[in-house]
Structure 1
Amino acid sequence: METKTEKQKEEKNINQKMEGRSLWADGWIRLKRNKLAMFGMWLIIIICLAAIFAPYITRYDPNEQFIWTEGPSAKLVPPCSKYWFGTDVYGRDIYTRVIYGARISLQIGFAATAISVIIGVILGSIAGYYGGIIDDFISWLTNVIFAFPFLLFVLALVAYLPPSLPLLYMAIGVISWASFARVARGQVIQLKEMEFVEAATAIGSHDKRIIFKHILPNILAPIIVQTTLEIGSIIMLESSLSFLGFGIQPPKPAWGYMISEGKQYFLSGQWWWSVFPGLAIMILVLGFNLFGDGLRDALDPRLKQ
C-alpha cells in the first residue's frame, strides 16, 4: 500500500514538473525516452558528421582512379584492409565515394525540403486563413499535385532542362510542397478561430502580421515533423533519379548512380559496388523516418500523458 502511494506521489510530481515546461522542452523529454527515435537521430548525426569531415576520414579522392597508378589489379578489388568497401571497374575507392556521396544526398534533401516548406506553408496558410475561392483554388492545385505521378513530373523537368545540382533540388522542391500545404492549411483553419487571433484582429493587425507573427509560430511542431519525414522521401527520390540517369551526373559520387553502375556486375560476384551505396541510402532514410516518427509522437499534445 505504501509502495503504491509513493508511486502515485512520484507520478504526480512528474506531471506537475511537465506542466511547467514549454511544449519544446516537454517534447524533448518524451523524445529522449523513445529509443528508436534517438537511434535514428544518432544515425543522422553520424552521417552528417561523416559528410562534413569527409576529407579527414577518407584517404583518397572520390574520383581518383588507381588503375593508372597500380594497373589493372586495382580494378574491382573486393573489400579489404586497403579498400574497405572495395573498388569499382575504374579503380576508384567505393568507401570514399560513399562518404562523399552523403554530401550530395544531404544537400539535395535539405535544400529541396526547404524550398517545398516555404512554398507549401505560405500557400497552405493563405488557403486556411482566407478560405473561399482562394482556398478552393489552392486546394484544387494541391490535389492536382498529389494526383500527378510525382516521379514522372520530376523526370519531365530534369530531362527538359540542363542537368545541374541547383536545378535538381529546385525541381524537386517546387513540386513537393503539397504535403506541407495540406498540413499548414488544416492547422491554420483550427487556429484562426482562437481567441488570440481574434484579439489581434480586433486591435487592427494586418492579415500578413497575423499569419506570420501569431499563427505560423503555433504550427511549427507539425511542420517540423513533416519536414523530417519529407527529407527521407526526397533523398529516396534523388537516388531514384540518379539511378535512372536523370540526377547527379558522373563523375560526382551520387549513391543512386553508383548502384546503377554496379548492378551489371552484381550477378558476376562484384556485389560491393552496388550494395554499399544501397546500404547508405537505407541507413540514412531509416534514420530520418525513425526520428520523424518519434518527433511526431513527442510533439503531439494528445500523447502527453
Structure 2
Amino acid sequence: MAVTEPTSTTLRDRVAATPRPAVVWVAVAAFLLLLEAGAFVHFVGTLAVDLVKALPFAYDPGVVKAFSKATTEIPTLLSRQVIPNGGYWNGSRYVNTFLGLAPAQAWMVRVAVVYLYSFALLAWAWVGYTWYRTHYRVADWTPRDDIVNRLRGHKWGLFGLVVVFMFIVMAVFAPALGPTTVEQNLQNPAGHQINYWSTESNSVETINVYSANINSRSVGTDNNVGVWSYDDYGRFHPFGTLPSGKDLFTFIAAGARISLIIGLFSVGLSAVIATTFALLSAYYKGAVDLAFVLVSDSIMALPRLLLLIMLTVVFGGTWVGNLYSGAFLLALIFAGTGWPYMWRSLRGPALQVSEREWIDAAKSFGQSPAKIMKKHMFPYITGYLLIYGSMTLGGAIIAIAGLSFLGLGVNPPTPEWGRAVNAGQNYVGGPSWHISLIPGLLITLVVTGFNALGDGVRDAIDPESDSAEGGAAGRGGGA
C-alpha cells in the first residue's frame, strides 16, 4: 500500500487522512482483548480485594465476596470452564473434561491455547508498530529504527524477551494455567470435594480435597507424586505435589504473580526515585549532588539483607504488612533500599547530557528547570533506565525468593517460589527431588531472562558497549 503524504504534523490528522490501517488494527486488538477481558479484570480485581481486606475501616465481607464473585464470573475464552481438565474417570470414559480427553491432555490444550493467544497479542502489537512506521510516521527513518533492528538480531536479547514474556503470561493467566484452582487446592482444600474412580469399589466416590492432598504428599520413597503423574484420585500434577500434597504447578503459577507484582512495583518505585534524584543532581550539581551522594552511600553502607529482615519483621504486623499478603511492604522495602544502586547507574548519563549545548540553549531561552529536565534530559537516560530496570527486576525476584526461603516476606499460605524451595530441601536427593529443583530452575531461568533482555537492550542502544563487541562485562548485573 502506498504511503499517504501527511498534510499535518499531528498524529490525529495523519490518522484521519489514512484511517483504514488504524481502524483495522484497533478493531482486531479490541477483539483479542475482549476475548480475555474477564482474565484482566479478575487480575486487577484480585489486587483491589487484597487492598480492601488490609484496611479494617473499609473491609465489608459481603461486598468483597460479591465483587470477587462478579469478577470471577466474567466470561473468558481461555478459562477452565471452557476447557476443563478437572473431571474424573467413571469406569468407561472421562466426565467433565474437555471433549472427554484425559485430564493431562485437556490441561495441555488449555495451556497451549493460552500461550498461542498471548503470542498472537504480541505479534499484533508488532504489526501495529510496523503499520505506524509505514502509514503515520512523518520521518522515513529515526534512530529508534536502528535500535529495534539491532535488538531483533540480538539472539541473547531475544532469548531473554521470550523468557520474560512467558513468565509474564504465567503471572497474568495463572488461574487458567494451573491444573486446579488456588482456592480449591492451596487456600481452602477443606471446603471443596472432588469425585474420583475407586478401584476398590469400582465406582465413583467423593472425597474432601484436604484428605486427598494428605494422601498425595511427596515426602520421599514411601509416598511420592512425581513430575507428570496422576495421584490416586485421578488428579493430574504436571510438576508433582508438595510435601503437603498440594499441586506444585498451581503453587508456582500463583507464585509467579506475586513475584511479578513485587518486582514491578519495587523496580518502578526505585526507577522514579532514582530518575528524579539523578536529574536533580545532574542539573544543580554542587551541594545537591553531594547530598544525594551522602544519602545513597549511607543506605548502601548498611547490610541490605539484615535491613530487609529487620524492616520485614518490624512492619509485618501492621496494616501495611497485610497488603497483598505482605507483598506491598516487601516492594516498599526493596524500593527504599534499592534506589541508590539505580541512581548511581543513571547519574553518569544524566551528568553527561547536562553538559550538552542544547541544555545551555534551553536555559538561555528561559525554560524552567523542571521543563529542561523533563524534555531535554530525561529522554537521554530512558534507554539506560530500561537496561538497569530489567536487570534490577531479576535481582528483585532472587531477593524475594531468598526471603521466602527464610520464612520472611510474603505471608503464608500465599504461594511464593522460595517457599517451595524451602519445603523440598530435605528431599533433594530422593524421589521428591522435584519440589526444590523445579522452582529453583525456574528462578534461575527467569532471572537469566531478565538479564539477557537487559543485555540485548543495552547492546541495541549502544552498539559500542563491551558486551556488543563480545566481552562479558555487565553480564548478570541484575543478580
Q: Which has the higher strand share?
A: 2
Question: For residue 251 of structure 1, what is the aligned residue in structure 2?
Answer: 413
Q: How does 1:87-102 map to 2 (within 5 A)?
A: 87-102=241-256
- Report which stretch shifted further, 160-169 or 146-155: 146-155
Q: Is the 8 A contact 2:217 2:244 kept in 1?
A: yes
CA contact (8 A) 2:214 2:244 kept: no
Gaps of 5+ in 2: 1-139, 190-207, 219-224, 230-235, 470-479
AA of the residue aligned to 1:247: G
- 8 Å contact from structure 2 (residues 282, 347) kept in 1: yes
Q: Greater shift after overlay, 219-228 or 267-276?
A: 267-276
Shift of 1:89: 2.0
**Larger C-alpha radius of gyration, 1 or 2?**
2
Instruction: Tell me which of 124, 142, 148 is aligned to 2:278.
Output: 124
Tell me, in whole angstroms, the C-alpha distance in 1 between the residues paired with 2:345 and 2:217: 50
In the alignment, which of 226, 236, 260 is matched to residue 78 of structure 1? 226
Could you say which residue in structure 2 is the equivalent of 1:232? 394
Aligned to 1:175, the other structure's residue is in SS state helix
Residue 140 of structure 1, aligned match among 294, 297, 301: 294
Match of residue 175 from structure 2 = 55
Find the aligned partners of 2:213 and 2:169 in 1 and give their Cα distance: 33
1:68 maps to which of 210, 213, 232: 210
Choose the corresponding residue for 2:166, options 41, 46, 61: 46
2: distance between equivalents of 1:233 and 1:70? 37
What is the match of residue 217 of structure 1? Answer: 379
The alpha carbon displacement at 1:49 in A equals 1.0
The Cα shift of 1:70 comes to 2.7
- Counterpart of 2:240, as a letter, is G
Identity fraction in percent: 31
Root-mean-square deviation (CA, aligned residues, Å) is 2.0
**Map of 1:178 onto structure 2:** 340
How many residues end up aligned between the 2 structures? 287
Q: 1:241–1:72: structure 2 CA closer, same or farther, 3 Å change rule?
A: closer
Partner of residue 193 from structure 1, selected from 355, 363, 371: 355
Deviation at 1:301, TM superposition (A): 5.2
Matches of 1:278 and 1:46, distance apart in 2: 17
- Report Cα offsets for 1:67-98 as digits up to 9, x if no partner: 63436431111123321111112210001111
Name the SS of the counterpart of 1:176 in structure 2: helix
Distance 1:248 1:177, change over 3 A: same
2:439 counterpart (270, 274, 277): 277
Q: Decide which structure has greater helix share.
A: 1
SS of equivalent residue, structure 1 residue 302 = coil
Higher relative contact order (CA 8 A, sep 6+): 1
- Whole-angstrom CA distance in 1 between matches of 2:458 and 2:214: 52
Q: Output one character per residue of 1:154-176: Cα deviation in whole Å (capped at 9) or x when no partner.
A: 11211111141111101111110
- Cα distance in 2 for partners of 1:126, 1:218 equals 14
Measure the CA separation in 1 of the matches of 2:214 and 2:273.
51
Where does structure 1 differ by over 6 angstroms across 4 or more consecutive aligned residues? none
Whichever residue aligns with residue 103 of structure 1, its letter is: R
